């Protein structure tokens, strides 16, 4: 019977050793850090893999003395822990041994193990919190994009409303021109010039509205042979009034003997308009002369179009990523314009690049038809 009793105890001890070994192996392999402390907060146990999160060895952690000294004061209320038995989701910002800031999610539990009364587990949630912030930012930017789309729809509606009175102005000016013939010579000449100005201005306004409508309209891609110089001049006319308001000198330098391009006119116009507007916004508040140059020239394989401003240029840290989505130099921008521009250019088998040289330069290379 004695032998049987001794054998049973040995098996029990062996099972206990196996269990402790399993626990040690588990604690040393998990990514969470586990501590135990007594009522005074003094460490009674530090897991061997504490360096995974904090970079400190177990001995270095013990040298800190208490949980509060290591993870921050007022980590928990002892009376609350007594009442609830467990406190979850305590979040702290800690500094690791190499100076890195990490966000730690802490869970505390009331226990009674070899002098330890508080079990503390720490999980590194730094990547999770950063992902949540990026998701929140993306949601904010998408909401902004939705508002911009609504503004675009409202603009299309307003454009339609404006076009009606413009047509009436043009028609009335034409009728008035015919009645002018009955007036005296002096009055006829003066009034005729006024009416001619009215007709010219209404025609110009109507042309701008047609361009805005073509940009706002949802339409399939239509590739056709396009004179790039004509397209550039059209964009320049579209932004002339805005350039004057911003006191920006808009220069156009078109090359000669340029090959035709087979492109979607509206899409390419959208790209150029975006680049010119960005350039003007970048220098609008700059002291001194402000200049945006829109230039085209023929190359061996196609056409090169450059939009250059004399501003401060693109920040060096953003330049390699300037065409990525949600990368922007504007405080109120969403960073989609240049990403869309690159997509359009590459869909035409072209290439768009950015550089700094006395300001920001954006160069579009498009193959000839």
Confidence tier at 342 by pLDDT (50, 70, 90): confident
Say which CATH number the domain at 75 has.
3.30.450.20
∠ at Cα 12 (11, 18), nearest 5°?
Answer: 90
Backbone angles phi, psi at 313, to 5 degrees: 85, 180
Q: Kindly list the strands in the beta sheet with 86-95, ordered across the sheet, starting from the edge strand earlier in the chain.
A: 43-46, 33-37, 116-124, 101-113, 86-95
Cα–Cα distance for residue pair 46/65, rounded to 1 Å: 11
Cα–Cα distance for residue pair 157/121, rounded to 1 Å: 59
- Which pLDDT value is given to residue 335? 65
Nearest to 246 by CA among 277, 280, 278: 280
Residue written as token pair 């954006």: 362
Asked if the structure places residue 23 within a domain, the reply is no
Same domain for 252 and 330, yes or no, is yes
Cα–Cα distance for residue pair 168/202, rounded to 1 Å: 10
Confidence tier at 119 by pLDDT (50, 70, 90): very high
Q: What is the DSSP string of 172-216?
A: HHHHHHHHHTTS-HHHHHHHHHHHHHHHHHHHHHHHHHHHHHHHH
Helix axes 228-245, 265-283, angle to 10 degrees: 30
Asked if residue 353 lies in contact with residue 363, where contact means CB atoms within 8 angstroms, the answer is yes
Cα–Cα distance for residue pair 66/89, rounded to 1 Å: 20
Same domain for 182 and 110, yes or no, is no
DSSP code, position 57: -
Q: Give the pLDDT mean for 108-132.
A: 91
Q: Give the pLDDT mean for 114-130.
A: 91
The rounded Cα 156 to chain-centroid distance in angstroms is: 26
Asked if the structure places residue 16 within a domain, the reply is no
Confidence tier at 135 by pLDDT (50, 70, 90): confident
In the chain, % of residues over pLDDT 70:
77
- Which pLDDT value is given to residue 1? 46
Same domain for 328 and 357, yes or no, is yes
Asked if the structure places residue 152 within a domain, the reply is yes
Asked if the structure places residue 17 within a domain, the reply is no
Asked if the structure places residue 179 within a domain, the reply is yes
Same domain for 206 and 234, yes or no, is no
Cα–Cα distance for residue pair 285/244, rounded to 1 Å: 14
Least confident of 73-77, 211-215, 236-240: 211-215
Last residue of a domain, one of 84, 107, 124: 124
The 10s digit of each residue's pLDDT in 287-324 is 889 999 999 999 888 899 999 999 989 888 888 888 88
Same domain for 174 and 299, yes or no, is no
Same domain for 229 and 366, yes or no, is yes
- Which pLDDT value is given to residue 145? 62
Same domain for 227 and 359, yes or no, is yes
- Which pLDDT value is given to residue 84? 92
Nearest to 107 by CA among 94, 120, 118: 120
Residue 174 has pLDDT above 90, yes or no: no
Q: Is the four-CA dihedral 19, 22, 28, 33 of positive or negative sign?
A: negative
- Which pLDDT value is given to residue 187? 67
The 10s digit of each residue's pLDDT in 43-102 is 999 988 889 899 999 999 999 999 999 998 888 888 999 999 999 889 999 999 999 999
For residue 63, the enclosing domain spans: 31-124
CA distances from 306 to 51, 246, 253 (A): 54, 21, 10
The 10s digit of each residue's pLDDT in 179-207 is 777 766 766 777 777 777 777 767 766 76
Same domain for 306 and 266, yes or no, is yes
Token output for 166: 């413009």
Last residue of a domain, one of 124, 150, 183: 124
Q: How many domains does the chain have?
A: 3
Q: Give the pLDDT mean for 141-161.
A: 59
DSSP code, position 322: T
Say which CATH number the domain at 238 has.
3.30.565.10
- Which pLDDT value is given to residue 62? 92
CA distances from 176 to 183, 205, 337 (A): 11, 20, 45
Same domain for 115 and 135, yes or no, is no
Confidence tier at 252 by pLDDT (50, 70, 90): very high
* Whole-prediction pTM: 0.47
Same domain for 344 and 229, yes or no, is yes
Last residue of a domain, one of 60, 92, 124: 124
**Where is 146: in which H helix or E strand?**
helix 126-180
Residue 344 has pLDDT above 90, yes or no: no
Same domain for 248 and 330, yes or no, is yes
Average pLDDT value over all residues in the chain: 81
Asked if the structure places residue 149 within a domain, the reply is yes
Asked if the structure places residue 13 within a domain, the reply is no
Asked if the structure places residue 172 within a domain, the reply is yes
Same domain for 166 and 247, yes or no, is no
Residue 355 has pLDDT above 90, yes or no: yes
């Amino acid at each position: 019977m004695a032998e049987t009793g001794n054998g049973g105890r040995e098996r029990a001890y062996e099972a206990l050793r196996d269990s402790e070994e399993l626990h040690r192996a588990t604690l040393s392999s998990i990514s969470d850090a586990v501590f135990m402390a007594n009522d005074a907060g003094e460490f009674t146990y530090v897991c061997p893999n504490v360096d995974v999160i904090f970079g400190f060895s177990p001995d270095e952690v013990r040298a800190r003395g208490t949980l509060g000294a290591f993870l921050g004061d007022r980590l928990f209320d002892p009376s609350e822990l007594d009442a609830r038995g467990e406190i979850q989701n305590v979040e702290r910002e800690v500094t690791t041994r190499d100076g890195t800031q990490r966000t730690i999610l802490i869970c505390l539990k009331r226990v009674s193990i070899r002098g330890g009364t508080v079990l503390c587990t720490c999980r590194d949630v730094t990547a999770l919190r950063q992902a949540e912030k990026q998701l929140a930012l993306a949601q904010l930017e998408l909401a902004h994009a939705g508002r911009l789309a609504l503004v675009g729809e409202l603009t299309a509606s307003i454009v339609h409303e404006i076009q009606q009175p413009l047509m009436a102005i043009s028609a009335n000016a034409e009728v008035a021109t015919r009645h002018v013939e009955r007036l005296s010579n002096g009055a006829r000449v003066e009034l005729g010039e006024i009416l001619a100005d009215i007709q010219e201005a209404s025609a110009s306004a109507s042309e701008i509205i047609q361009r805005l409508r073509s940009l706002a309209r949802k339409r399939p891609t239509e590739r056709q042979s396009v004179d790039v110089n004509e397209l550039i001049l059209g964009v320049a006319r579209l932004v002339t009034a805005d350039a004057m308001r911003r006191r920006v000198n808009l220069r156009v330098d078109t090359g000669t003997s340029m090959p035709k391009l087979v492109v979607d006119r509206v899409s390419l116009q959208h790209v150029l308009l975006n680049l010119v507007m960005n350039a003007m916004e970048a220098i609008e508040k700059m002291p001194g002369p402000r200049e945006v140059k829109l230039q085209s020239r023929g190359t061996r394989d196609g056409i090169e179009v450059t939009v250059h401003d004399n501003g401060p240029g693109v920040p060096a840290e953003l330049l390699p990523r300037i065409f990525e989505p949600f990368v922007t130099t504007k405080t109120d921008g969403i960073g989609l314009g240049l990403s869309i521009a690159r997509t359009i250019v590459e869909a035409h088998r072209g290439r768009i690049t950015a550089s700094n040289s006395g300001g920001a330069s954006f160069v579009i290379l498009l193959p000839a038809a």
